[in-house]
Amino acid sequence: MLANNMSQPSTSSPTAPDFCTSHSLLNLTAVLRCSAVLALVFLASLASLIPYYRTPKQDYSGALAYVEAQRRPEDVVAAVGLAASGYRGLYGPHLAFPQDIAELSRLQEGDHATWVLYTFTRNLRVTNPALLDYLEENFTPQASFPGTVGDGTIYVLRAE
């Protein structure tokens, strides 16, 4: 008696339009409708990617080009934190890569400006909070280069 009261599972797909699951898929009209819906979904998906690919994941080269255009020949350019990895390996092996406040302070000695590039503020706040505090207190923001990576904006700072 209990078995007679149980409902039977549904055999239709709740996500597909009726005209895509009809038994008459051989019907040319149904095939064309289904194809048109799928094409529209595909095009809508492609359109959503345009803003994502318009901006670089991280604009290391743009930030460095900005600094190179603004700096004087005697100025020092450094990258700290995770930005140091990208610049050391690919974009600016000629830059300075101070690890702490003492090394950065030594780079600031003399009659020149010091430029610093950094990214991933949250990571720098966790791994080297004293260095981030020092940057915020002693350097002036000059530019920022956003990217599509979360917290991946490249920041450009300068101190005289």
Q: Where are the chain's structural domains?
A: 17-54, 60-159
Give residue-wise pLDDT tens across range 92-125. Answer: 999 999 999 999 999 999 999 999 999 999 999 9
The residues with which 143 forms a beta bridge, in sequence order, are: 156
Q: What is the separation of C-alpha 42 from the centre of its chain, rounded to a whole number of angstroms?
A: 24
Question: What is this structure's pTM?
Answer: 0.69
| Alpha-helical regions (H) of the chain | 2-5, 18-21, 28-54, 60-70, 82-86, 101-108, 121-127, 129-138
* Rounded distance between C-alpha atoms, residue 18 and residue 11, angstroms: 13
* Rounded distance between C-alpha atoms, residue 2 and residue 10, angstroms: 19
